[in-house]
Copies of this chain bind each other. A is one copy, B any other.
Amino acid sequence: MGRPTIADIAERVGVSKGAVSFALNGRPGVAEATRARILQVAKEMNWRPHSAARALGGARAEAVGLVIARPASTLGVEPFFAQLLSGLQAGLSAQSVAMHLLIVEDVAAEIEIYRDWASAHTVDGFIVVDLKVSDPRIEVLEELGVPTVVLGGPGRHGSLSSVWADDREAMLSVVEYLAALGHRHIAHVAGLPAFRHTQRRMRALRDSTRRLDLVDAVSLATDFSDSEGAAATRALLSRARRPTAIIYDSDVMALAGLGVAGEMRVRVPDELSIVAFDDSVLTRIAHPAITALSRDTFALGGQVAEAMLALIAAPDARQDLRTATPRLVVRRSTAAPGAWQG
């Protein structure tokens, strides 16, 4: 005989399948003595629920889905992502909820997977990352009616829950700090312009130009890779009027930028100040250590997990959680612009 089923237990105990089901689910309708006996036999026979069978009846999958449309290789490289993932898992595993993870080619494929998993009850909810400026996923997920937490904001995501940090505030704090140090030529090596948070950062910088009396405040878009980060840095440092400070949208790119500065004999921080969005071990052990906007990404993952679990428990209780704005951790890579500057 294969795996025991409730029918086997029922037969052995001499009751009906229904009674066994009630007993195993701690539901009223069976006498205590019978319940004890059923549990006993179930244990003896080493019975375990068959989740597929339960799912047919509409039960929980005890898993949440995370579909990522990115090259898989970047996941291992980005400390942000690794941290987020582990924070997520930590939060979910408190309730023994697993994470169903899949990497796909593009957003179209991602949406297909949402439809699949939703209709097959593969997961109880979705977590959406890499929010785009005009994101087609939002609409689909709303239509599917599956609990969903969007990481990113602020802004309308229809009826979906969201967890976000204020990228605008964060960028402003960096720019103000640099301006206070005396920097007027500030450049920004941004990430993918399609991302919503990239846009908000670019706009925040642009908006500061007049207020802080900046001479120059240019944003260069990249794909977040270290190579494009390096290329952008090279371009900036080759200008006649080179920036005295560069803000990078990720720690990986900041590190690449620091390397380029060294290669071009531009001294950091004397001739160039460097600031990174996202803090990690990378920025700490760089030489010089890089000033960075730090946030507890692991905790962020935990918050997303919590929002997700809450949403699954009460699908109508939409959440909109603003997390702490990243704070600036000043290290050796920033200083007042050198006197030699014009």
Contacts and interface: CB of A to CB of B under 8 A. Distances in A.
B103 A101 contact: no
A75 B89 contact: yes
A56 to B, nearest CB: 5
Q: Is the interface of A mostly helix, strand, loop or mixed?
A: helix
A120 B48 contact: yes
Contacts of A104: 93
Contacts of A322: none
B86 A116 contact: no
A102 B116 CA distance: 21
A72 B51 contact: no
A119 B89 contact: no
Contacts of A96: 102
A313 interface: no
B98 A98 contact: no
Contacts of A49: 119-120
B102 A101 contact: no
A264 interface: no
Interface stretch (A158-166, A191-199, A279-287): A279-287
A13 to B, nearest CB: 20
Nearest to A99: B101
A73 interface: yes
Contacts of A287: 285, 287
Interface string A67-104: 00000111111010111111101100100101111111
Interface of A: 3, 48-53, 55-56, 63, 72-77, 79, 81-87, 89-90, 93, 96, 98-104, 115-116, 119-122, 255, 281-282, 285-287, 297-298
12 contacts: A49-B119, A52-B55, A52-B56, A55-B55, A76-B82, A76-B86, A77-B82, A93-B103, A96-B102, A99-B100, A281-B282, A282-B285
